[in-house]
Structure 1
Amino acid sequence: MLITRETDYALRILRALADGKLLNSAAICEQEALPQHFTYKILKKLNKAGVIRILRGVEGGCQLTADLKMLSLYDLISITEGQRAISSCMEANFQCQWQQKFGSRCQIHQNLQVIQNSLDQQLKTYSIYDMLFKEKSC
Protein backbone atom coordinates (compact mmCIF):
# COMPACT_ATOMS: atom_id res chain seq x y z
CA MET A 1 0.00 0.00 0.00
CA LEU A 2 1.43 3.31 -1.06
CA ILE A 3 0.17 6.80 -0.46
CA THR A 4 -1.07 7.64 -3.93
CA ARG A 5 -1.41 11.07 -5.47
CA GLU A 6 -5.15 10.88 -4.82
CA THR A 7 -4.64 10.39 -1.08
CA ASP A 8 -1.99 13.11 -1.04
CA TYR A 9 -4.43 15.50 -2.72
CA ALA A 10 -7.19 14.48 -0.29
CA LEU A 11 -4.89 15.40 2.61
CA ARG A 12 -4.31 18.81 1.04
CA ILE A 13 -8.03 19.31 0.45
CA LEU A 14 -8.69 18.55 4.12
CA ARG A 15 -5.96 20.97 5.13
CA ALA A 16 -7.69 23.71 3.12
CA LEU A 17 -11.03 22.93 4.75
CA ALA A 18 -9.72 22.35 8.28
CA ASP A 19 -10.77 25.76 9.59
CA GLY A 20 -14.43 24.95 8.88
CA LYS A 21 -14.96 27.69 6.32
CA LEU A 22 -16.94 27.13 3.14
CA LEU A 23 -14.60 27.06 0.12
CA ASN A 24 -15.39 26.37 -3.50
CA SER A 25 -13.26 23.91 -5.43
CA ALA A 26 -11.44 26.68 -7.32
CA ALA A 27 -10.33 28.26 -4.03
CA ILE A 28 -9.16 24.88 -2.73
CA CYS A 29 -7.20 24.27 -5.93
CA GLU A 30 -5.59 27.70 -5.73
CA GLN A 31 -4.72 27.40 -2.04
CA GLU A 32 -3.28 23.89 -2.33
CA ALA A 33 -1.90 23.96 -5.91
CA LEU A 34 -4.16 21.13 -7.07
CA PRO A 35 -5.55 20.33 -10.53
CA GLN A 36 -9.26 21.19 -10.78
CA HIS A 37 -10.49 18.03 -12.55
CA PHE A 38 -8.81 15.68 -10.08
CA THR A 39 -9.87 17.77 -7.07
CA TYR A 40 -13.55 17.56 -7.90
CA LYS A 41 -13.34 13.77 -8.20
CA ILE A 42 -11.79 13.57 -4.72
CA LEU A 43 -14.31 16.04 -3.27
CA LYS A 44 -17.12 13.76 -4.44
CA LYS A 45 -15.53 10.78 -2.67
CA LEU A 46 -15.05 12.79 0.54
CA ASN A 47 -18.65 13.98 0.33
CA LYS A 48 -19.97 10.45 -0.21
CA ALA A 49 -18.00 9.26 2.85
CA GLY A 50 -19.46 12.07 4.98
CA VAL A 51 -16.10 13.78 5.55
CA ILE A 52 -17.22 16.98 3.83
CA ARG A 53 -20.45 18.37 2.50
CA ILE A 54 -20.86 19.97 -0.88
CA LEU A 55 -23.33 22.83 -1.16
CA ARG A 56 -24.40 23.57 -4.70
CA GLY A 57 -25.25 26.95 -6.19
CA VAL A 58 -23.78 30.44 -6.43
CA GLU A 59 -23.08 30.62 -2.69
CA GLY A 60 -22.04 26.98 -2.56
CA GLY A 61 -18.79 25.27 -1.84
CA CYS A 62 -17.32 22.56 0.35
CA GLN A 63 -17.18 22.38 4.11
CA LEU A 64 -15.56 19.93 6.50
CA THR A 65 -18.05 17.87 8.50
CA ALA A 66 -15.78 15.21 10.03
CA ASP A 67 -13.61 15.52 13.11
CA LEU A 68 -10.06 15.25 11.74
CA LYS A 69 -8.89 13.92 15.11
CA MET A 70 -11.20 10.92 14.67
CA LEU A 71 -10.39 10.24 11.01
CA SER A 72 -7.28 8.10 10.53
CA LEU A 73 -4.87 7.93 7.63
CA TYR A 74 -6.10 4.36 7.13
CA ASP A 75 -9.68 5.69 6.85
CA LEU A 76 -8.67 8.30 4.29
CA ILE A 77 -6.79 5.76 2.17
CA SER A 78 -9.87 3.52 2.28
CA ILE A 79 -12.05 6.44 1.12
CA THR A 80 -9.80 7.52 -1.72
CA GLU A 81 -8.32 4.22 -2.86
CA GLY A 82 -10.58 1.54 -1.46
CA GLN A 83 -8.94 -1.27 0.46
CA ARG A 84 -5.40 -1.38 -0.90
CA ALA A 85 -3.15 -4.32 -0.21
CA ILE A 86 0.63 -4.54 -0.34
CA SER A 87 0.30 -7.54 -2.67
CA SER A 88 -2.46 -8.87 -4.89
CA CYS A 89 -2.52 -12.04 -2.79
CA MET A 90 -3.80 -9.94 0.13
CA GLU A 91 -6.94 -8.99 -1.78
CA ALA A 92 -10.21 -10.62 -0.73
CA ASN A 93 -10.98 -12.86 -3.72
CA PHE A 94 -7.42 -13.68 -4.78
CA GLN A 95 -6.99 -17.23 -6.06
CA CYS A 96 -3.52 -18.44 -5.13
CA GLN A 97 -2.22 -20.78 -7.82
CA TRP A 98 0.50 -22.08 -5.51
CA GLN A 99 -2.03 -22.96 -2.82
CA GLN A 100 -4.29 -24.60 -5.38
CA LYS A 101 -1.42 -26.68 -6.78
CA PHE A 102 0.12 -27.77 -3.47
CA GLY A 103 -2.92 -27.70 -1.19
CA SER A 104 -1.35 -25.81 1.68
CA ARG A 105 -0.96 -22.20 2.76
CA CYS A 106 1.80 -20.27 1.06
CA GLN A 107 4.51 -19.09 3.46
CA ILE A 108 4.98 -15.93 1.41
CA HIS A 109 1.29 -15.11 1.80
CA GLN A 110 1.43 -15.73 5.55
CA ASN A 111 4.41 -13.41 5.98
CA LEU A 112 2.87 -10.73 3.77
CA GLN A 113 -0.29 -10.96 5.89
CA VAL A 114 1.73 -10.17 9.02
CA ILE A 115 3.26 -7.14 7.28
CA GLN A 116 -0.16 -6.02 5.95
CA ASN A 117 -1.70 -6.24 9.43
CA SER A 118 1.17 -4.28 10.96
CA LEU A 119 0.96 -1.58 8.29
CA ASP A 120 -2.81 -1.28 8.65
CA GLN A 121 -2.49 -0.91 12.43
CA GLN A 122 0.21 1.75 12.04
CA LEU A 123 -1.90 3.75 9.56
CA LYS A 124 -4.81 3.62 12.00
CA THR A 125 -2.70 5.32 14.68
CA TYR A 126 -2.25 8.54 12.67
CA SER A 127 -5.20 10.91 12.71
CA ILE A 128 -5.61 13.29 9.80
CA TYR A 129 -5.33 16.14 12.30
CA ASP A 130 -1.92 14.85 13.41
CA MET A 131 -0.82 14.37 9.81
CA LEU A 132 -1.72 17.95 8.96
CA PHE A 133 -0.81 19.88 12.08
CA LYS A 134 1.53 17.98 14.40
CA GLU A 135 5.23 17.69 13.82
CA LYS A 136 6.62 14.21 14.42
CA SER A 137 10.24 13.53 15.13
CA CYS A 138 12.00 10.64 13.44
Structure 2
Amino acid sequence: MLITRETDYALRILRALADGERHNVKELCESEAVPLQFAYKILRKLTEAGIVKSVRGVNGGTELTADLSRLTLLDVIRITESDSYISDCMSPGYHCTWSAKNCRKCTIHSRLCGIQQKLDHELAKLSIRDLLKTGPDTTKSAPPRHLN
Protein backbone atom coordinates (compact mmCIF):
# COMPACT_ATOMS: atom_id res chain seq x y z
CA MET A 1 0.00 0.00 0.00
CA LEU A 2 1.21 3.42 -0.90
CA ILE A 3 -0.28 6.82 -0.43
CA THR A 4 -1.14 7.17 -4.09
CA ARG A 5 -1.66 10.36 -6.00
CA GLU A 6 -5.42 9.88 -5.69
CA THR A 7 -5.26 9.62 -1.90
CA ASP A 8 -2.91 12.61 -1.77
CA TYR A 9 -5.37 14.66 -3.84
CA ALA A 10 -8.27 13.53 -1.63
CA LEU A 11 -6.37 14.75 1.42
CA ARG A 12 -5.73 18.08 -0.29
CA ILE A 13 -9.42 18.45 -1.10
CA LEU A 14 -10.35 17.65 2.50
CA ARG A 15 -7.81 20.24 3.67
CA ALA A 16 -9.54 22.90 1.55
CA LEU A 17 -12.99 21.85 2.77
CA ALA A 18 -11.89 21.76 6.43
CA ASP A 19 -12.75 25.46 6.74
CA GLY A 20 -16.44 24.52 6.70
CA GLU A 21 -17.18 26.65 3.67
CA ARG A 22 -18.69 25.57 0.36
CA HIS A 23 -16.20 25.55 -2.52
CA ASN A 24 -16.69 25.03 -6.21
CA VAL A 25 -14.54 22.43 -7.93
CA LYS A 26 -12.50 25.03 -9.81
CA GLU A 27 -11.55 26.75 -6.53
CA LEU A 28 -10.58 23.41 -4.99
CA CYS A 29 -8.41 22.53 -7.97
CA GLU A 30 -6.67 25.89 -8.01
CA SER A 31 -6.06 26.18 -4.26
CA GLU A 32 -4.89 22.59 -3.81
CA ALA A 33 -3.15 21.97 -7.15
CA VAL A 34 -5.44 19.08 -8.03
CA PRO A 35 -6.09 18.32 -11.71
CA LEU A 36 -9.75 18.72 -12.62
CA GLN A 37 -10.20 15.13 -13.89
CA PHE A 38 -8.91 13.76 -10.57
CA ALA A 39 -11.04 16.16 -8.54
CA TYR A 40 -14.31 14.96 -10.06
CA LYS A 41 -13.37 11.31 -9.59
CA ILE A 42 -12.30 11.85 -5.98
CA LEU A 43 -15.29 14.01 -5.10
CA ARG A 44 -17.60 11.31 -6.46
CA LYS A 45 -15.95 8.75 -4.14
CA LEU A 46 -16.06 11.12 -1.16
CA THR A 47 -19.73 11.87 -1.86
CA GLU A 48 -20.63 8.17 -2.13
CA ALA A 49 -18.87 7.62 1.22
CA GLY A 50 -20.88 10.44 2.84
CA ILE A 51 -17.80 12.60 3.49
CA VAL A 52 -18.84 15.54 1.31
CA LYS A 53 -21.98 16.69 -0.44
CA SER A 54 -22.49 18.65 -3.62
CA VAL A 55 -24.97 21.46 -3.91
CA ARG A 56 -26.17 22.56 -7.34
CA GLY A 57 -27.06 26.06 -8.40
CA VAL A 58 -25.64 29.55 -8.44
CA ASN A 59 -24.21 29.29 -4.94
CA GLY A 60 -23.46 25.60 -5.32
CA GLY A 61 -20.31 23.72 -4.69
CA THR A 62 -18.93 21.03 -2.44
CA GLU A 63 -18.93 21.04 1.32
CA LEU A 64 -17.76 18.76 4.06
CA THR A 65 -20.36 16.63 5.84
CA ALA A 66 -18.05 14.43 7.92
CA ASP A 67 -16.33 15.20 11.19
CA LEU A 68 -12.62 15.22 10.31
CA SER A 69 -11.72 14.30 13.87
CA ARG A 70 -13.56 10.99 13.36
CA LEU A 71 -12.38 10.34 9.79
CA THR A 72 -9.02 8.55 9.72
CA LEU A 73 -6.24 8.28 7.20
CA LEU A 74 -7.11 4.60 6.83
CA ASP A 75 -10.71 5.59 6.00
CA VAL A 76 -9.55 7.94 3.23
CA ILE A 77 -7.18 5.34 1.80
CA ARG A 78 -9.99 2.77 1.72
CA ILE A 79 -12.36 5.26 0.09
CA THR A 80 -9.94 6.30 -2.65
CA GLU A 81 -8.02 3.10 -3.32
CA SER A 82 -9.35 -0.15 -4.67
CA ASP A 83 -6.54 -2.01 -2.93
CA SER A 84 -5.15 -1.02 0.45
CA TYR A 85 -2.94 -4.05 1.04
CA ILE A 86 0.86 -4.08 1.11
CA SER A 87 0.83 -7.29 -0.93
CA ASP A 88 -1.59 -8.71 -3.49
CA CYS A 89 -1.63 -11.99 -1.57
CA MET A 90 -3.81 -10.38 1.09
CA SER A 91 -6.54 -9.41 -1.33
CA PRO A 92 -9.81 -11.32 -1.00
CA GLY A 93 -9.97 -14.19 -3.46
CA TYR A 94 -6.23 -14.24 -4.11
CA HIS A 95 -4.99 -17.72 -5.01
CA CYS A 96 -1.45 -18.43 -3.84
CA THR A 97 0.22 -20.74 -6.32
CA TRP A 98 3.14 -21.33 -3.95
CA SER A 99 0.87 -22.53 -1.14
CA ALA A 100 -1.06 -24.73 -3.53
CA LYS A 101 2.13 -26.23 -4.98
CA ASN A 102 3.80 -26.82 -1.60
CA CYS A 103 0.63 -27.80 0.34
CA ARG A 104 1.47 -25.56 3.26
CA LYS A 105 0.95 -22.08 4.60
CA CYS A 106 3.26 -19.37 3.29
CA THR A 107 5.35 -17.83 6.07
CA ILE A 108 5.93 -14.71 3.99
CA HIS A 109 2.18 -14.16 3.81
CA SER A 110 1.86 -14.64 7.57
CA ARG A 111 4.57 -12.06 8.30
CA LEU A 112 3.13 -9.57 5.83
CA CYS A 113 -0.31 -9.96 7.43
CA GLY A 114 1.22 -8.97 10.77
CA ILE A 115 2.80 -5.90 9.22
CA GLN A 116 -0.48 -5.03 7.50
CA GLN A 117 -2.34 -5.22 10.81
CA LYS A 118 0.17 -2.90 12.50
CA LEU A 119 0.05 -0.46 9.59
CA ASP A 120 -3.76 -0.42 9.54
CA HIS A 121 -3.78 0.15 13.30
CA GLU A 122 -1.45 3.16 12.98
CA LEU A 123 -3.35 4.63 10.02
CA ALA A 124 -6.63 4.20 11.92
CA LYS A 125 -5.25 6.16 14.89
CA LEU A 126 -4.51 9.26 12.80
CA SER A 127 -7.56 11.45 12.22
CA ILE A 128 -7.66 13.77 9.25
CA ARG A 129 -8.12 16.69 11.68
CA ASP A 130 -4.85 15.73 13.41
CA LEU A 131 -3.13 15.24 10.07
CA LEU A 132 -4.10 18.76 9.03
CA LYS A 133 -3.03 20.47 12.26
CA THR A 134 -0.32 23.02 11.85
CA GLY A 135 2.54 23.39 14.25
CA PRO A 136 6.08 22.22 14.73
CA ASP A 137 6.97 19.07 12.88
CA THR A 138 7.57 16.39 15.47
CA THR A 139 8.91 13.82 13.05
CA LYS A 140 12.49 13.69 11.91
CA SER A 141 12.78 13.30 8.21
CA ALA A 142 15.28 10.56 7.49
CA PRO A 143 16.31 9.55 4.02
CA PRO A 144 14.74 6.29 2.88
CA ARG A 145 16.72 3.14 3.52
CA HIS A 146 17.46 0.96 0.54
CA LEU A 147 18.76 -2.55 0.48
CA ASN A 148 21.96 -2.89 -1.48
TM-score range, shorter chain: over 0.9
Q: Which residue of 2 aligns with 1:68?
A: 68
Taking the aligned partners of 2:61 and 2:93, their CA distance within structure 1 comes to: 39
Match of 2:110 in 1: 110
Query: What is the alpha-carbon root mean square deviation over aligned residues?
Result: 1.1
Q: Who is 2:28 aligned against? A: 28
**Unaligned stretches of 5+ residues in structure 1:** none
CA deviation after TM superposition for structure 1 residue 102, in Å: 1.6
How many residues of Structure 1 are paired with residues of Structure 2 in the alignment? 138
Alignment of 1:1-138 (within 5 A): 1-135=1-135, 136-138=137-139
Normalising by structure 2, what TM-score?
0.89
Q: CA separation in 1, counterparts of 2:44 and 2:71?
A: 17
Aligned partner of 1:18: which letter?
Answer: A
CA distance in 2, matches of 1:112, 1:6: 24
- TM-score with structure 1 setting the length: 0.95
Instruction: Give, in angstroms, the shift of residue 101 of structure 1.
Output: 1.2
- How far the C-alpha of 1:58 sits from its partner, in A, is 2.5
Distance across 2 between alignment mates of 1:131 and 1:122: 13
Looking at structure 2, the residues matched to 61 and 23 of structure 1 have their Cα atoms a distance apart, in angstroms, of: 5
Counterpart code for 1:115: I
Distance across 2 between alignment mates of 1:63 and 1:82: 24
Q: Which blocks of at least 5 consecutive residues in structure 2 are unaligned?
A: 140-148
Letter in 1 for 2:79: I
In the alignment, residue 40 of structure 1 is paired with which amino acid?
A: Y
More helix by share: 1
Shift in Å, 1:35? 0.9
Q: Distance in 1 between matches of 2:134 and 2:86?
A: 27
Q: Which amino acid aligns with 1:137?
A: T
1: distance between equivalents of 2:103 and 2:33? 52
SS at match of 1:27: helix
Relative to structure 2, which stretch is displaced further, 97-106 or 68-77? Answer: 97-106
Identity within the alignment, %: 52
Deviation at 1:134, TM superposition (A): 4.6
**In structure 2, distance between residues paired with 1:32 and 1:89:** 35
Q: AA paired with 2:25?
A: S
